[in-house]
Amino acid sequence: MSVDVRTEEATTLMNTEQMSLWKRLTRIQAAQIVLVLVAIVIVFSVMAPDAFPTVFNLRSIIVNTSIFAVLGVGATMVIITAGIDLSIGSVLVFSSVVAAKVMGLMGASGWGTAMVGVVVAVLAGSAWGLLNGFLIAKAKVPAFIVTLGTLGMALGVSQVITGGIDLTDVPGEFVDAIGFGDIIWQVPSLTVVAAVVVILGSILLHRTRFGLFTFAVGSNAEACRRVGINVDRQLIWVYVISGACAGFAGILSLAFYQQTTIGGQSMTALTVVAGVVIGGTSLFGGIGSIFGTVIGLLIPVVLESGFIIIGVEAYWQGVVVGIFLIGAVYLDGLRRTRSMRGGSGRKPTSRQVGDENLGNREKDG
Amino acid sequence: MPILEARGIVRTYGQVVALDGCDFDVEPGQVTALIGDNGAGKSTLIKILAGTEPAEGGTVTFQGERVTIHSPSQARELGIETVYQDLALCPHLDPVNNLFLGREIKRGGIMGALGFMNRKAMREQSIEAFQDLGATVRTLSEPVGTMSGGQKQSIAVARASAWASKIIFLDEPTAALGVVQTHNVLELIKRVRDKGIGVVLISHSMPEVLAVSDDIQVLRRGRRVATYRTADTNIEELVATMTGKLDEGMVA
């Protein structure tokens, strides 16, 4: 191979780099699911122009998605490692119970008490995450079983602590400001707080080495071990983050409902996993985005709101979300078999933009 | 003067003796072919020298000093890289992130401390590394899982050569490749050798071994039974040595 050819290849590498940005954007499943969400919103807006696209309705939609979105940050990271965390609903309950207990002992009033509650809830959630991560990474018990076990344990301990009766020890200032308040105009504080968590989570996942390792471990854990990445430590951290998100969601839930929700979180983990998967994160690991998860979580909430407004029984929401869920995993499967086969001599199907630049490379590889 | 000398390496798996006092030498700036029949102990020997499996006996001398290589990280610190049969790339990551996996360049200052990476520097150095070897990489921004076997193997070899300062082990790097891709990878191997690195090539393809290696060491039943200069040997002799026919006097 002559020097000239190599120089030409280098130029080619640079060109494809610039040209593929749009291609990369459009190929993210999250981008496609945004279109689905927009279509749903347009349909409901046309069918109920006076009731659906109102500030009040949109505000209630984003409020109802906010707590799920906080849970979705951790759940997305876990699923990118090809794991699962079924315990988040129970960990949310446990964290809110422990936080309410502590805040109750402190008199259940004032911002200082509320901040202690936040810290306690996040630590309580992280502790369950640490247990999950340790059992999965070190004891090699499958994540499905570990988190199914801690799902029952966290809820059971919560019921033991409370005798099954919901606690209401939340400072009023905290409820007014975070649970119901608006930062400005009709922008709910709860949503702003959740958005901060989502943005921080996205930066961590998509911009840092920690995030890269999360994808890498989900993509090929053995390859990571061979290059010296501490796979066990990475997994433990990811489950701790998932637990911490559940803990934080627990204190937000306290602020919103003004009480713990011991009996109300049995479907939470499944709702969040559905949102993560609809948003384009692969259950097989290595692919995903928190942005997609937020869109995936908005879809069920928008459907429920829309169905109620146009007079369809809200029960249909479950049916439609189920179809979306199965469709999303079907598409993921198609995508994987199409693009990850990686046999020799195969012409990639993804070659569209910039092919003319690549013509000279076809004979190689 | 070999850069690495292994003497009397022993490794057993239960009742099975994979390596039974095996010797092995790596010379700098040379391609050393490591051949042997299935079960001769080639892959086990590589795993021990790459730090992924412990040896039960024997000594390893690296640059004149006795060493015990007990982890892949330690092997890499010594300047030893390995290209595994099953590639060991992350299919969902792009070539840049695969090349730098575990060795990401951090940004300066507080951003670096927070775990932010200098992607620009990583990409520029990747382009350099691939150009350096004339590796055929279609694009730097798509997951390597979408690429052909030849491109993936090129990336794996380029990664090893970018980081290896002393030795590269290649465990059947062309086993899954077509004719053209195999040719490209063999060319890559020669360029790595020309950088002065000791290259160890495991292969079952005798024509390939004869085409690319400088010397050939033959394993049989967990021991090194012969060392040849590539120029002085031929397929018949190598096959006879591997299968043990030479010992039994069936080949003149």
- Please give the pLDDT value at position B183: 85
B122 in contact with chain A, both atoms CB, cutoff 8 A? no
Q: Are B38 and B91 a contacting pair, CB within 8 Å? A: no
Residue A18 lies in a domain: no
The mean pLDDT of B112-139, rounded to a whole number, is 84
- The continuous run of DSSP H or E covering B201 comes out as strand B198-202
Q: Model confidence at A208, in pLDDT bands (50, 70, 90)?
A: very high
Percentage of residues of chain A with pLDDT beyond 90: 67
Q: Does the pLDDT at position B32 exceed 90?
A: yes
Q: Are A267 and A280 a contacting pair, CB within 8 Å? A: no
C-alpha–C-alpha distance, residues A98 and B43, integer Å? 54
Q: Model confidence at B149, in pLDDT bands (50, 70, 90)?
A: confident
Q: CA nearest A261: which of A13, A31, A145, A93?
A: A93
C-alpha–C-alpha distance, residues A86 and B191, integer Å? 51
Q: Are B145 and B177 a contacting pair, CB within 8 Å? A: no
Residue A13 lies in a domain: no
**Highest-scoring range by mean pLDDT, A2-11, A151-160, B75-84, B112-121:** A151-160
The mean pLDDT of B118-146, rounded to a whole number, is 84
Q: What residues of chain B lie within 8 A of the CB of A285, using their CB?
A: 92
C-alpha–C-alpha distance, residues B161 and B170, integer Å? 11
- Please give the pLDDT value at position A31: 78
Q: Cβ A223–B89 below 8 Å, yes or no?
A: yes
A339 in contact with chain B, both atoms CB, cutoff 8 A? yes
Q: Please, what is the average pLDDT of chain A?
A: 85
Which of A6, A206, A351, A364 to substitute to test the interface with B, most B CBs within 10 Å?
A364
A228 in contact with chain B, both atoms CB, cutoff 8 A? yes
Q: Cβ B91–A286 below 8 Å, yes or no?
A: yes
Q: Model confidence at A22, in pLDDT bands (50, 70, 90)?
A: low
B47 in contact with chain A, both atoms CB, cutoff 8 A? no
Work out the burial of residue A238: count CB atoms within 10 Å of its CB; fewer than 13 is exposed, 13-18 middle, 19 or more buried. Answer: buried
Q: Does the pLDDT at position A9 exceed 70?
A: no
Query: The domain containing residue A93 runs over which residues?
Result: 30-334
Residue A286 lies in a domain: yes
Q: Cβ B146–A226 below 8 Å, yes or no?
A: no
The mean pLDDT of A237-255, rounded to a whole number, is 97
A343 in contact with chain B, both atoms CB, cutoff 8 A? yes
C-alpha–C-alpha distance, residues B99 and B86, integer Å? 16
Q: Cβ A219–B88 below 8 Å, yes or no?
A: no
Taking only the tens place, the pLDDT of each residue in A312-362 is 887 888 898 889 889 888 887 777 776 654 433 333 333 333 333 333 333
Q: CA nearest A253: which of A63, A78, A109, A55?
A: A63
Residue A16 lies in a domain: no
C-alpha–C-alpha distance, residues A113 and A107, integer Å? 8
In B, minimum Cα distance to A220 occurs at B90
Residue A48 lies in a domain: yes
C-alpha–C-alpha distance, residues A346 and A281, integer Å? 26
- Please give the pLDDT value at position B53: 87
- Please give the pLDDT value at position A26: 52
Percentage of residues of chain A with pLDDT beyond 70: 84
Number of domains in chain A: 1
Query: Which of residues A179 and A82 earns the better pLDDT score?
Result: A82
Q: Does the pLDDT at position A263 exceed 80?
A: yes
Q: Is A19 helix (H, G, I), strand (E, B) or coil?
A: helix
Q: What residues of chain A lie within 8 A of the CB of B154, using their CB?
A: 365
- Please give the pLDDT value at position A313: 84
Query: Which CATH number do you get for residue A291?
Result: 1.10.3470
Q: Cβ B148–A343 below 8 Å, yes or no?
A: yes
Residue A281 lies in a domain: yes
Structural domains of chain B, ranges and CATH numbers in brackets: 4-92+164-243 (3.40.50.300)
Q: Does the pLDDT at position B249 exceed 60?
A: no
- Please give the pLDDT value at position B136: 67
Q: Among A16, A209, A223, select the one facing B88 at the smallest CB separation.
A: A223
- Please give the pLDDT value at position B45: 92
- Please give the pLDDT value at position B202: 92
Q: What residues of chain B lie within 8 A of the CB of A350, using their CB?
A: 142, 146
Query: Which of residues A76 and B1 earns the better pLDDT score?
Result: A76
Q: Which ipTM value was assigned to this complex?
A: 0.83
